[in-house]
Amino acid sequence: MKQTKKMNCIVCPLGCLGEVSFNYGNDGGVIDVEVMSGFSCPRGKNYAIKEMTNPERMLTTTVRVENGALPLLPVVSKTALPKGKVMAAARYLAGITIKAPVAEGQVICLNILGLGVDIIASRDMNTHA
Amino acid sequence: MNLNYEIVIVGGGPAGLAAAKSAAENGANKILIIERDREMGGILQQCIHNGFGLHTFKEELTGPGYAHRYIKMVDGIPQIEVMLDTMVLSIADGDKKMVVACNPQNGIMQISANAIILTMGCRERTRGAIRIPGTRPAGVLTAGAAQRMVNMEGYIPGKNVVILGSGDIGLIMARRMSLEGAKVHACLELMPFSNGLTRNIVQCLEDYDIPLHLSHTITKIHGVERIEKISCAQVDESFRPIPGTEFDIPCDCLLLSVGLIPENELSTGAAIPLHRLTNGPLVDQCRETGLPGIFAAGNVVHVHDLVDFVSEEGAIAGKYAAKYSAGQMCGFDRAIAVEPGNAIRTVVPQTITVRECVNEPVKLFMRVTQPMVKITVEVCDGDIVLASKKEAVAKPSEMIAVSLPYDKACSARGPITVSVKEEVK
């Protein structure tokens, strides 16, 4: 018996509420996702399948700065991370301290947690005056 | 200390930065941005999440990323000077406008200007504004204040958090506090719907299993030194708590995301006429306030949801302030009122002035009164439709922009009305 789930699409402001059906595979992962109803466009259907099988999120957080003009540096993942790894990545970055100066776009953490995604600086950070 | 500039801009956030750049591009030679914080960029600097700039830069930037694009542009323009760590105390109208400001280096400064642009942004509504009963313990903060503490200063204001208000700032802070290791126990919303983006409901609440209680409000704050818990209850259609629905949530931190209001201290001090609903200065399509030569743009005029529109408005104000400063801003013999009609709460600008020196479409920014689907927004002169726009979905939290050709606007005989027509089913 397939499971069903209601979910909101986030692709556009319409925010369709749709329903999908799926099974759990032997490894516990979601398989056989089918869109049953509610999504009014193909983008919504694609979103629903992706969100069920391999959801991803951007991560934005901060890292501590040594000798910086400000105590914290905002950082962003270069691309989206697997949703289930976002919290672990944030906690990892909470333990990092980097040295000023930093330039916007500079890699702060290469290949975080082996996920294949770099974390980069969101802004310049000069040294403390 | 006495100083003299062509244009003085009060506030170096997105509106002020765009205004300065635009003023320089339109011929102003001596422009001053006055910023009270330690750096420019305004509130964007603490909005470290991404999603800014899709309209302007065609990519999703973080708040600091968006700010730095503009800061770098402004840094490269020699006509623009910046005074950081400087507070404007008052502005005064007159043949020459006067700005009184102070900072630790120069003390009090009297700065004269041909034109002033007000870009002070907005403030958060506080506990006092919504009158939550209970004690007055520590740990009750506005969401934006907490955002600055967490994202810029390096403090966590609490470990067990309740959020009142489900606008985007409240939702973003729910995720932010969770990522920093706090437990967010609930998000409460007075209205029967959230004013936040669906994307933020999903990615900031559902991702972290944070319950959203719609039609709920806080009935009491408990705690003596520190907040210990809140009592909340469901509300009826008149937003009154329903007896028997109360429950308590233990917490050591309450974040309020209950609305923003334009920052008006300087405007009221200079007797600039304000609008009753936007709470910002009344402006025409050039973003000139009721006092000639004093312009206003961005969240100080009306609270925006997209920074792109703030920058756009800043650019308009900068352009016409430059014209005014150069003596090229012609007067007007007619001002046409722009009024909200059916299901529209506010429209900006509130007037369209008929001027020979203006010849560009007027972009009208409006907010609807309630969530609706499949609507047409019509801009009318009596029975004549001057412009219209279809929207698949409309929410009070999402500003709608409609472009109105200038010749059509000027052809209006009476006030221009903006109203919503719902599709006939």
The number of angstroms, rounded, from the C-alpha of B35 to the middle of its chain's C-alpha atoms is: 17
Residues making up chain A, counted from first to last: 129
Are residues A45 and A80 located together in one domain of the fold? no
Q: What is the mean pLDDT of residues B124-149?
A: 96
In a domain, A28, yes or no: yes
In a domain, A30, yes or no: yes
pLDDT digits (tens, 9 = 90+) for B267-305: 999 999 999 999 999 999 999 999 999 999 999 999 999
β-partners of residue A109 are: A119
Residue B235 corresponds to which tokens in the numbers above?
């509300």
Tell me if B254 sits within 8 A of B162, measured CB to CB: yes
CATH 3.50.50.60 residue ranges for chain B: 1-123+260-329, 126-258
Are residues A113 and A79 located together in one domain of the fold? yes
What was the pLDDT predicted at A36? 85
Q: What is the mean pLDDT of residues B140-151?
A: 97
Pick the CATH number of B1-123+260-329 from 3.50.50.60, 3.30.1010.10, 3.60.130.10, 3.30.1300.10: 3.50.50.60
What's the ipTM? 0.92
In a domain, A128, yes or no: no
In a domain, A97, yes or no: yes
In 3-state terms, what secondary structure has residue A76? strand
Are residues A42 and A73 located together in one domain of the fold? no
Between these two residues, B396 and A66, which has the higher pLDDT value?
Answer: A66
Residue B425 scores a pLDDT above 80: no
In 3-state terms, what secondary structure has residue B19? helix
In a domain, A14, yes or no: yes
Residue B89 scores a pLDDT above 90: yes
pLDDT digits (tens, 9 = 90+) for B195-215: 888 889 999 999 999 999 999
Mutation choice for B interface testing from A123, A124, A125, A126 by most B CBs within 10 A: A123
What is the nearest CA distance from A32 to chain B, expressed in angstroms? 22
What is the nearest CA distance from A62 to chain B, expressed in angstroms? 7
pTM of the entire structure? 0.94
The residue segments making up the domain with residue A114 are 60-121
Are residues A46 and A76 located together in one domain of the fold? no
What was the pLDDT predicted at B100? 98
What was the pLDDT predicted at B424? 57
Residue B418 scores a pLDDT above 70: yes
Is A13 within 8 Å of B152 when comparing Cβ atoms?
Answer: no
Are residues A45 and A78 located together in one domain of the fold? no
pLDDT digits (tens, 9 = 90+) for A67-89: 999 999 999 999 999 999 999 99
Distance CA A6, CA A20 (A): 6
Are residues A65 and A109 located together in one domain of the fold? yes
For chain A, how many structural domains are there in total? Answer: 2
What was the pLDDT predicted at B95? 78
Q: What is the mean pLDDT of residues B24-41?
A: 97
Note the CATH number of domain B333-425: 2.60.40
Is B201 within 8 Å of A71 when comparing Cβ atoms?
Answer: no
Distance CA B352, CA A103 (A): 44
β-partners of residue B223 are: none
Is A74 within 8 Å of B64 when comparing Cβ atoms?
Answer: yes
Are residues A14 and A41 located together in one domain of the fold? yes
With contacts defined as CB-CB under 8 Å, which chain A residues touch B202?
A: 8, 10
Is B398 within 8 Å of A72 when comparing Cβ atoms?
Answer: no
Are residues A113 and A67 located together in one domain of the fold? yes
Residue B392 scores a pLDDT above 90: no
Beta-carbon pairs below 8 A across chains A and B: 80
Residue A1 scores a pLDDT above 80: no
Note the CATH number of domain B126-258: 3.50.50.60
Q: What is the CATH number of the domain that holds A83?
A: 3.10.530.10
Q: What is the mean pLDDT of residues B413-425?
A: 85
What was the pLDDT predicted at B423? 67
